Amino acid sequence: MAAEPRLVLHDVRAGYGALDILNGVDLDVGPGEFVALMGPNGAGKSTLIKTIFGMTTFKSGQIHWKGEQIGGLKPKAILSRGIGIVPQGRCNFPLMTIEENLDMAGYIVRDRGIKAEKDYVYSLFPILRNRRHQLAGNLSGGEQQLLETAMAVLRRPDVILIDEPSVGLSPAAIGIVFKELNRLHAGGCTIILVEQNTRKAMEVAERAVVLRLGKVIWDGRANEITHRELGDLFMSGQIANRSAAPTSTERSHT
């Protein structure tokens, strides 16, 4: 019997003010999946995860999370429902230590002690424990990206939305970041990743979702599509000499 999806988007339309970016997105993500959102510049990838997190102008459609309609809710309400986000670019407090950054990230932790949550994060990211008294601004780009991921993980979300984690990083730092994302997923975390580095994304993600012009045009297992075919989709919206794979509304999870 197919697993019931945890996060379901149906005909979602959203943008920024009067500007429409998403033009009817359908997507479902089941528990524990690692989904890579890919597509050409302007396809709506970052807008999609920002819309899930309540950071855009929600126009119409439905976003159901655990059976509740959350489309159009504010970020604080989304966060409290167990969805976390790691925005694109540096989003830490550079003049504060790693420890202090984690304290800031834990401001909504009520039922569990912040110390226990920091210990949990340090167990996931030992490199941060070793440098917890260093200023965040003195960390390498890759270490800052891990810190920002840790700040989201501290609240133990059911789903983490991650926007372009490789931007501005060296190849070595990219390798470290993606290795840690893979470990998070192996531990049971559901991850929705926006990433322009398609090779790295497809190395770690189980599922590839391609957007173009604000719509999902391909949705399938990452190992079912080649980089050449991805290029075809980015450029024309079609795969040469092959019929497109079914989108998420046409296929079922097993």
Q: Is the pLDDT score of 64 beyond 70? A: yes
pLDDT reported for residue 191 = 95
Are residue 115 and residue 162 in the same domain, yes or no? no
Same domain, 164 and 238: yes
Instruction: For residue 204, give the CATH number of its domain.
Output: 3.40.50.300
Question: 78 with 168, same domain?
Answer: yes
Query: Are residue 49 and residue 118 in the same domain, yes or no?
Result: no
Domain check: are 52 and 91 in the same one?
A: no
Q: Are residues 144 and 166 in the same domain?
A: no
177, pLDDT greater than 90: no
In this structure, are 162 and 152 located in the same domain? Answer: no
| Same domain as 180, residue 89 | no
Q: Give the range of the structural domain holding residue 45, as residue numbers without chain letter.
A: 1-82+158-254
The confidence score (pLDDT) of residue 105 equals 83
Give the global pTM. 0.86
Q: Is the pLDDT confidence value at 111 over 70?
A: no
Residue pair 177/4 in contact (Cβ under 8 Å)? The answer is: no
- Is 152 in the same domain as 162? no
Average pLDDT over residues 115-135: 88
Q: Do 63 and 167 have their domain in common?
A: yes
Last-in-domain residue among 130, 156, 182: 156
The total number of structural domains that make up the chain: 2
Ranges 41-50, 126-135, 240-249, most confident: 41-50
Domain C-terminal end among 135, 156, 177: 156
**DSSP states along 171-230:** HHHHHHHHHHHHHHHHTT-EEEEE-S-HHHHHHH-SEEEEEETTEEEEEEEGGGS-HHHH
Dist. CA 238–CA 231, nearest whole Å = 9
* Same-domain status, 18 and 48: yes
Regarding whether 176 and 62 lie in a shared domain, the answer is: yes
Cβ atoms within 10 Å, residue 63: 23
Residue 241 contacts by C-beta under 8 Å, 6 or more apart in sequence?
Answer: none
pLDDT of residue 73: 96
Picking from 107, 122, 156, the residue at the C-terminal end of a domain is 156
